[in-house]
Amino acid sequence: MDEEKQGVPPPEGEGSPAPPGQPPASTGEQAEPRPIQALEPIAPPAPPAPPPSPPVAAQPEDEEEHGMLRMSFMEHLEELRGRILKAVYGLAVAFVLSLAYAGKLWDIISDPAVEALKHLKVDPPMLAQLTPMESFSIIWVKLPLLCSVFIASPWIVYQVWAFISPGLYKKERRWAMPFVLITAGLFIAGGLFAYFLAFRFGLEFLLGIGMSNNVRPVVSITEYFDLFVNVTLGVGLVFELPVLIFLLTLLHIVSPRFLIKHSRYAILIIVIAAAIITPTPDVFNLMLFAIPMCALYFVGVFLSYLIVLRREGQQFPWRAAIKFVLIALVILAAVYGLVTYFHLHFLREWPFLKR
């Protein structure tokens, strides 16, 4: 009683208050020790979030590929079908226009034969019809079809370009108009070259080669037209040589160095092709075909060189080249004027010119 009055706390286990949340321990029993809980490790503070990175600028290749059209195999077939139909429609329109002027066109086509027969003094200077259907099939069917191929060639080349353009880069699609104009222009230029030069000289040689042996030339319109088609279409296709070299350079198949290094083989192939295309076996007509073809080959090499310069970020010295060409043309014009004015003739020995 005295201890309680003096405020001395009672011994543990004897009337000591139980901790909150636990039942009081019974008298005479020792309280079980509480398990010691391990302290959880304190996690270090998270590092601050990095600042947002600026948006990555789109690469030129990505922008160009974004403009490329992705199509499935069936969509490619549908696109090819549509382009072929459009090319055929254009060819049909050109055929109808050519059919309306078939008579005048035949007069133009047969003019080289008439002129050659006149020079050979063949009377009458006319082509022969050997079968009843020859005139109809040649003048009213085959001739308009041939003319329609040349007339519709820009439209046909455009359809070819439109088919392959979805798979090209944006910068390559800008070449559509130059590609169409140059390709169709070279094809038409080849046909005109064959008509005005190669075919005329070769035809007169062929018709007159047997007249000294009592052979009178009688030419059917079918044989004449077949020869005309072979020469004009052959030369027209050969004139596409610069375009072929241009495309091969774009595809990284050839290079200007490769073309120059193997130019002797290219010239050999050109001469063989000219011997096949030319209608006559003489050297003069062979060179008449081969020289322009070799010139076109080196034009293609020049175009290939321009592509490589552009690919490497360099520029061709156009000003210096144009000045050189103009000076050369002025010198040639001056020489031609002097020769014409003074009636000079070229000699094989000094002084090489004589009045």
Convert the pLDDT of each residue in 82-118 to its tens digit.
Answer: 999 999 999 999 999 999 999 999 999 999 999 988 8
Q: Is the pLDDT of residue 2 over 50?
A: no
Q: Is the pLDDT of residue 355 over 50?
A: yes
Query: Does residue 116 share a domain with residue 215?
Result: yes
Break the chain down into helix, strand, coil percent, rounded to 5: 65, 0, 35
- 133-147, 167-181, 320-334: which range is least confident on average? 167-181
pLDDT band at 247 (very low <50, low <70, confident <90, very high): confident
What is the distance between the alpha carbons of residues 160 and 69, in angstroms, rounded to a whole number?
Answer: 16
* Residues whose CB falls within 8 Å of the CB of residue 173, separated by 6 or more in sequence, listed in order: 165
pLDDT band at 5 (very low <50, low <70, confident <90, very high): very low
337 or 222: which carries more pLDDT confidence? 222
Query: Does residue 213 share a domain with residue 103?
Result: yes
Q: What is the mean pLDDT of residues 154-179?
A: 81
pLDDT at 1: 42
Query: Does residue 246 share a domain with residue 229?
Result: no
- 65-79, 150-164, 322-336: which range is least confident on average? 65-79
* Residues whose CB falls within 8 Å of the CB of residue 280, separated by 6 or more in sequence, listed in order: 202, 205, 206, 286
Query: Does residue 120 share a domain with residue 110?
Result: yes
What is the distance between the alpha carbons of residues 35 and 33, in angstroms, rounded to a whole number?
Answer: 6
Q: What is the mean pLDDT of residues 119-132?
A: 88
Q: Is 50 within the bounds of a domain? A: no
Q: Is 147 within the bounds of a domain? A: yes
Q: Is 223 within the bounds of a domain? A: yes
pLDDT at 55: 53
Residue 219 backbone class (left: φ over 0; alpha: ψ -120 to 50; beta: rest)? beta
Q: Is the pLDDT of residue 120 over 70?
A: yes
- 120-124, 169-173, 297-301, 351-355: which range is least confident on average? 351-355
Q: Is 12 within the bounds of a domain? A: no
In this predicted model, what pLDDT tens digit does every residue of 249-272 receive, in sequence order? 887 888 999 999 999 999 999 999
Q: Is 103 within the bounds of a domain? A: yes
What is the distance between the alpha carbons of residues 45 and 353, in angstroms, rounded to a whole number?
Answer: 101
Query: Does residue 345 share a domain with residue 273?
Result: no
Of the candidates 239, 274, 307, which is a domain's last residue? 239
**Domain coverage including residue 125:** 68-239
Query: Does residue 258 share a domain with residue 295?
Result: yes
Q: Is the pLDDT of residue 183 over 80?
A: yes
pLDDT at 58: 47
Query: Does residue 160 share a domain with residue 144?
Result: yes
pLDDT at 214: 81
Query: Does residue 234 share a domain with residue 160?
Result: yes
CB 152 within 8 A of CB 102: no
Query: Does residue 303 share a domain with residue 187?
Result: no
pLDDT band at 184 (very low <50, low <70, confident <90, very high): very high
CB 159 within 8 A of CB 192: no
25 or 236: which carries more pLDDT confidence? 236
- What is the tally of structural domains in the chain? 3
CA dihedral 307, 234, 205, 130 (to 10 degrees): -160
61 or 273: which carries more pLDDT confidence? 273
CB 105 within 8 A of CB 147: yes
Q: What is the mean pLDDT of residues 36-52?
A: 59
pLDDT at 137: 93
Q: Is the pLDDT of residue 14 over 50?
A: no
**Global pTM exceeds 0.95:** no
Q: What is the mean pLDDT of the chain?
A: 80
CB 147 within 8 A of CB 135: no
pLDDT at 178: 84
Q: Is 336 within the bounds of a domain? A: yes
pLDDT at 188: 94
Q: Is the pLDDT of residue 56 over 60?
A: no
Query: Does residue 283 share a domain with residue 142?
Result: no
The separation between the first and the last C-alpha atoms of the chain, rounded to the nearest angstrom, is 164
Query: Does residue 327 share a domain with residue 312?
Result: no
Of the candidates 208, 239, 270, which is a domain's last residue? 239
Q: Is 99 within the bounds of a domain? A: yes
Q: Is the pLDDT of residue 347 over 50?
A: yes
Q: Is the pLDDT of residue 30 over 60?
A: no
Query: Does residue 331 share a domain with residue 297?
Result: no
Q: Is 28 within the bounds of a domain? A: no
Q: What is the mean pLDDT of residues 200-225?
A: 85
Of the candidates 188, 205, 239, which is a domain's last residue? 239
Q: Is the pLDDT of residue 145 over 70?
A: yes
